[in-house]
Every structure is written in C-alpha cells, then in structure tokens.
Amino acid sequence: MGMEAIVETKPVEEDKPRIGVFVCHCGVNIAAVIDPKKLAEYAATLPNVVVAKDYTYMCSKPGQQLIIDSIKQYNLNRVVIAACSPRLHEPTFRKCLASAGLNPYLLEMANIREHCTWVHTHEPDVAFEKAKKIVELAVTRANLLEPLEEQEVSVIQRIMVIGGGIAGLFAALAAANAGFEVYLVELSPTIGGRMAQLDKTFPTLDCSKCVLTPIMNEAAAHPNIKLFTYTEVVDVQGSIGNFKVKLRKKPRYVDPSKCTACGICAEKCPVKVPNEFDMGLSMRKAIYLPFPQAVPTVYLIDPEHCLYLTKRDPKTGKPICGVCQRFCPAGAINFDEKPEEIEVDVGAIIIATGFDVFDPREKPEYGYGKYPNVITSLEFERILCATGPTGGKILCPPDWKKEPKRIVFIHCIGSRDETVNAPFCSRVCCMYTAKQAILYKERVPDGEAYVFYIDVRAAGKGFEEFYRRAVEEYGITYIRGKVSEIIKDPVRDTLVVRAEDTLTGKIVEVEADLVVLAVGMRPRKSTLELAKILKLPLSADGFLQELHMKLYPVQTAVDGVYICGCAQSPKDIPDSIAQAVAAAGYAMSLLSQGKVRTIGNVAEVNEDLCSGCGICEATCAFGAISLETKVVEGREVRRAKVDVLRCKGCGACAAACPAGAIKAKHFTDDQLLSMIRALFVGPSEALKAIKVAAPPIKAS
C-alpha cells in the first residue's frame, strides 16, 4: 500500500525556494528497479529541498492529495515529481499544484521511468545512479522556476469567411445555422465561385448550377450571414478571438436597393468586353451581370471599360456616354459611387479563396494561344455549359461554325511537371477529363474522343466506376503517353497531336478538330496577398500551409485562422465541403467558450537590451513578434513586441536574439545552463553560478 517516507531537513529561511520532491513507485514500473524511498532520502539532501516523499501512484487521487497536503503543510513553493514522462502527466500535476494554490508552472518533473527504469531494467545499481542525476537536474531547475501567467481573453463571436465559392458557402452556412454571426467576403461581384462555371460535376453528372444556386440563395437569405461581395480584404490586425479586418468595398456604380436586374442597361451599353466568366470566349457589356443566377442579382459597371468613367469629350469636358443611366427605369445607376472602407471585428477567419488554373502559355509546345482550337478544360467547360458562348452546343472557337468530330484531351498540363515548378498532382483533372469526354460523346455520338494520359487517378467514391464507363460504355480511347507537341495542318485546318504510345512503344499522331488541355490548379494571386497580410506560411507547392498535413489539415500556424478547399491544396467538391465544415467546426468550438487562454511559457522582450534589429520578427514562424516604433529618451526607436496570443513558446526568437534580449519563459538560459552545469559539478555549485538575482518566490 502507500508508503510514506518523510524526510525533513533543517528549516529553510523564508525568502528561499522551498522544494518538495515526490518520488513515484508507479506500481512496479519504477519500484522494481530502484528503491523510491532511498531516492527520496537522497533528494532531501539537495539544495532547498524541504521534504521528500514517495508513494505508489503519484498521479492517483490519494497521490495527488499527498502533494496538495504537503504543499500546505510544509509551505512549499516549488514541486519536483520524479515519475513518468512530463509528456504524460505534466497537465495532471499542474492542475494538482493549482488546486493547492500554487502556480502550475512551479512544477518540474524528473523522468525516471521512460528515461531510466524502463530502459536500464537489468542494471538496477546503474539505474539508481542515473535516477539520482535526473533528480539533481530537476531540483536544480526547480530552484529557478518562476510563476507564470496564463491570460484569458474574451473573444468576439463572429466568423469571417473569405471566399464565396462552394467551400466558403458551406463554411458560412454551418456557422450561421449554429447561431454564429458570419461575414462572408467575396472578391468578385457574385458568390458561387468556380462551381458556377461548371456544366456538370463528376461522377454524378449533376448540373453544377442546379445544385449550387440553392446554396447560394440560402446563404444570401440567411439572417446570420452578411454578404460583402465585390469586396477585398485590405488589412488584418490582432489575433485569435480579436481580429480587426479592414475591407474595401469596390463601387458597382449601381444601387443594389434599386436595381431590378431588368437588363435594359446592358442592352443599350455600346461597349463590348471579353467575358471573364466565359474565360474570354464570349463578350459582355461594360455594365453587366456576371451570370444569370448571380447573387446578389445586381448589375455592375466595369470601371476600366465604361465610357462614362474613362472618357470625356475633349471640347466640353462632359462625359461622352451615360446611356445606361438614361434608360434605367429604376434610376439605379450612380456614377459618383466611391469605394467604401469598412472595418469589422471578428473572432475567427476562414479562408476559402479557391484556385486559378495553370496558364498553358508556359508550355508553348501545346500551341495554346497560337492555335484558337487548342483550349483549356475550363474553356471547354464553358462551351459545354448551356449559359456559355454556344448555348451548350459543342463548336470550335473562334468562329463557332464547325462541330468537332474528334477531340483530343491531354492530361497533366501544368501538373506533375518540374519544368513549370509544379511537381504536385492537381487531383481533379483525370476525373473532369473523363467527364468532359463523356459529355462530348453524349452530344456528338459520332464524334471520337482521345485521352492522352500518364496515369488515371480515380480514387474517390464512384470515380473508378465513372472512368470505366467512359472507356467501356462511351468508347473513349485512352492512350498512355505524354504529348510532345501539337502542330497545325494548314491544308486540312486541323491540329496534329504527336505523342509516344508508351504501351506499344510507337509514335502516334492523332488529327484533331479540337484539343482540350487538362490544366492543373494554381493558387490565386489574391490568396498569396492575403497570406502576406495574415502572415500565413505557404507550402512548397505555393498553396496555403496547414498546421499538420495529416492531423490538422484545416488549421494554420496562426490560431483562429483556418483554411479549406482548393486554397489549401487541389481537391474536388466533396472534399472541399468536408474541409469547409471542418474549418467552421473548429472556428465555432474556438469561439463558443467565449474566451481563450494563452500559454504561460511565452517569449518576453527586455526592451532595455533590444536594439530593434528585427531578427526575432523574421525568425518567428507564427508572426508573434513585431517591431513597434516608440520614443525612448526623446529618440524614435524600434522595439520588439510579443503578441502573447500568437506566441507558441518555441523559443526560436530567444535563441536568435543577438543581444539576448528575449527571455523564453519557462525555458530560460539560466534554467537550461544550470541543468547542464549540475550534471558536472552538482546542483549546489551550479546554483551558486547564477549571477542574477534569484527569481521572486511569490508562489501563486
């Protein structure tokens, strides 16, 4: 049963550390190899140890009570527990100290189990000597421990979702349905994202807009969601639970409360501009609605091409157009609208900003940009779409006269390719190519579809079955080989695709009316700017970096900022949605408590030693240190400042500081160096070498 060995040394002066050492038997894990009583007796001889006890199971309730009682009885202000690894029970014993009224950071654990009795089981004498050394080091450090504060900060129960595509919409709805206030910020004039540009989705062949638009409308109508469309994020300050975000709402020049989307303005507008929603394959007017189902359903004026906004009559100085304003029956047009600067406070931020596609002009051998009938998959998707440039009829650009009788699809354009700095796989291209080939064959049954591939990656649910259908049911020909070049046959006005069929070893040349390049994903430029503002690290592939690739795919290095969807890495719709609601779940669980706690072992800057060199700021991976300009003795200087809400306590800044101005609390130079010294000269000598004043012994 519990054995108590009480060894008390002579009474210690009031203003010194009073350490209690508790040696655990851990059943037989420790006690079978070394004698815990003897170890406690030895510990009692060490500097400032007032009492040393042993017990069978220190982490049990009676064990913890023993510690609490001893703290009170002997007026202890430091505790050393010689037992298992701190990675197991440091939190347990810290709570134990707290319930005895002692600051939880005044605990040191001596690992005499994992690092001693369990690995030197057959050499008990040796193990005992090593256990003594481990306890000596722990007692030395305990002498130098300081009480540390954990701060509690109240959080704002509002979530900002940046990006109004499928991921952003689901994240916003998940949080809004749980009762949280959500600000949904979208850079383009409408929510919907890439999914709005798709015709059908694999492998279900759902009509993309049909499944998307109910979600868009639900988000727009939700009482807890405030939509900020055509708005960019300018700056973000603050940290977890308290972010101050500066937004800039770009002017539409159309009053949303008056516009009925009748479209008369666009009919009358004289300016034609390539339509970015159709990837430039059709034209829109300078006043336009991005697509018929846009939310909000409000027209807007393109300030770069609108005649009123860009040109004046040289003689009169008056604007030369204004037709839309004259004809608008609702009087909704206002050319004087200015950008609106908005500042909002939110508790958590979810980034769902999606992707851009690879520009195949980086691979000139494919002829994109040179031959009009070499197009990207996204452009082909717009051709397939009933709201696209051809009303869903498959015709060859640029004149839309010829129906292609043979289409060649090429996988891995800008993916799995070191030459364009993209060794990663974009994950969706094998599937969307199969989809596009199937849709082509459905509409042009006598057409031929060829796919040049390296692999076919069909890993998701229903994907392999879908690909099988493409090959077996629709007779799409898959040839394994990389395309070396695409040349134009000037006589027949067709393209010739040249590749090696690696399974037969022969060179093949396939004549095609249309070539579709399965372009890979790229991070958006606007996402990269957002990452700079938020101090978010990027992965090697250029997408936003998650905290842990396996365990924490939607968290980031910045607490309170979450990422999801293709902004994090290429993925399809179901995976984007899964990540989006995961991010929302984390944001909600963070904010639902109403407050967050910092850790105690943060960095602290001694401003008297800091010279403002900025090395710490560059070193910190979490953006937790920044330089602040202050006035010191009449001069303007820069001093490092730690944001304790961001600081993770790693200590990299403390090691980097050339002046030694940063103290890594709980892992100070004194604490670490005296442990090393104690190893060679013993604890008393090691402690004598501490030249600075002993730390305050205010215990709680």
Partner 1 sequence: MKEHKPEVLELKSAYPATPKKLFEPLIVCFACNYCTYAGADYAGTARIQYPPNVIVIRHMCSGRYDPLEFLEALRLGADFVWHAGCHPGDCHFLTGNYKASRRFALLKKLCEQLGFNPERLILEWVSAAEGDRFASIVRKLLQKYEEIGPSPMKNFKEEL
Would you say 225 or 675 has its CB closer to partner 1?
A: 675
Q: Which of residues 89-148 bind partner 1 (CB under 8 A)?
A: 111, 113-116, 118-123, 126-127, 129-130, 133-134, 137
Would you say 155 or 664 has its CB closer to partner 1?
A: 664
Would you say 420 or 672 has its CB closer to partner 1?
A: 672
Would you say 301 or 558 has its CB closer to partner 1?
A: 558
139, 161, 686, 699: which one contacts partner 1 (CB under 8 A)? 686
Dihedral, 581, 587, 590, 596 alpha carbons, nearest 10: 170
Neighbour tally for 318: CB within 10 Å: 9
Would you say 294 or 686 has its CB closer to partner 1?
A: 686
Q: Cβ contacts of residue 33 below 8 Å, gap of 6+?
A: 116, 117, 120, 121, 124, 127, 128
In sequence order, what E strands does 61-167 have?
Answer: 78-83, 107-111, 152-154, 158-162
Would you say 507 or 621 has its CB closer to partner 1?
A: 621
Size of the site for partner 1 (CB under 8 A): 51
Token code pair at residue 526: 């606007």
Token code pair at residue 679: 């190893």
Would you say 69 or 125 has its CB closer to partner 1?
A: 125
Q: Are 91 and 81 in contact (CB under 8 A)?
A: no
Cis peptide before 398 (omega within 30 of 0): yes
Residue 212: phi, psi to the nearest 5? -80, -45
26 lies in the site for partner 1, by CB under 8 A: no
Q: How far is the CB of 80 from partner 1 (least distance, A)?
A: 14
Neighbour tally for 502: CB within 10 Å: 12
Q: Are 148 and 665 in contact (CB under 8 A)?
A: yes
Q: How far is the CB of 300 from partner 1 (least distance, A)?
A: 41
Q: How far is the CB of 115 from partner 1 (least distance, A)?
A: 6
CA distance 226 to 496: 52
- Binding pattern to partner 1, positions 623-662, x when CB under 8 A? -------------------------xxxxx-xxx------
Q: Are 124 and 94 in contact (CB under 8 A)?
A: no
Q: How far is the CB of 529 from partner 1 (least distance, A)?
A: 21
Largest pairwise CA distance in the chain: 106
Q: How far is the CB of 44 from partner 1 (least distance, A)?
A: 22
Strand pairing category for 340-346 and 242-249: antiparallel
Would you say 454 or 650 has its CB closer to partner 1?
A: 650
Q: Are 185 and 162 in contact (CB under 8 A)?
A: yes
Would you say 234 or 650 has its CB closer to partner 1?
A: 650
Q: Are 511 and 495 in contact (CB under 8 A)?
A: yes
Straight-line distance from the first to the last Cα atom of the chain, in angstroms, rounded to the nearest whole number: 33
Q: Which of residues 578-607 bind partner 1 (CB under 8 A)?
A: 601
Would you say 370 or 688 has its CB closer to partner 1?
A: 688
Q: Cβ contacts of residue 124 below 8 Å, gap of 6+?
A: 33, 34
Neighbour tally for 62: CB within 10 Å: 12
Q: How far is the CB of 279 from partner 1 (least distance, A)?
A: 37
370, 468, 532, 688: which one contacts partner 1 (CB under 8 A)? 688
Would you say 264 or 673 has its CB closer to partner 1?
A: 673
Q: How far is the CB of 686 from partner 1 (least distance, A)?
A: 7
Would you say 590 or 686 has its CB closer to partner 1?
A: 686
Would you say 26 or 185 has its CB closer to partner 1?
A: 26
- Binding pattern to partner 1, positions 394-433, x when CB under 8 A? ----------------------------------------
CA distance 57 to 560: 38
19, 519, 664, 699: which one contacts partner 1 (CB under 8 A)? 664
Closest by CA position to 612, among listed 632, 638, 631, 636:
638
Closest by CA position to 367, among listed 268, 497, 258:
497
Q: How far is the CB of 216 from partner 1 (least distance, A)?
A: 36
Q: How far is the CB of 132 from partner 1 (least distance, A)?
A: 10
386, 621, 632, 694: which one contacts partner 1 (CB under 8 A)? 621
In sequence order, what E strands does 395-490 have?
Answer: 406-413, 448-453, 477-480, 483-489
Q: How far is the CB of 229 from partner 1 (least distance, A)?
A: 34
Q: How far is the CB of 551 from partner 1 (least distance, A)?
A: 11
- Dihedral sign for Cα atoms in the order 134, 135, 140, 145: positive
Q: How far is the CB of 27 from partner 1 (least distance, A)?
A: 15
Q: How far is the CB of 451 from partner 1 (least distance, A)?
A: 35
Closest by CA position to 458, among listed 435, 481, 424, 482:
435
Instruction: Give the residues lining the site for partner 1 (CB under 8 A).
Output: 85-87, 111, 113-116, 118-123, 126-127, 129-130, 133-134, 137, 537, 545, 557, 601, 619, 621-622, 648-652, 654-656, 664, 667, 669, 672-673, 675-677, 679-681, 685-686, 688-689
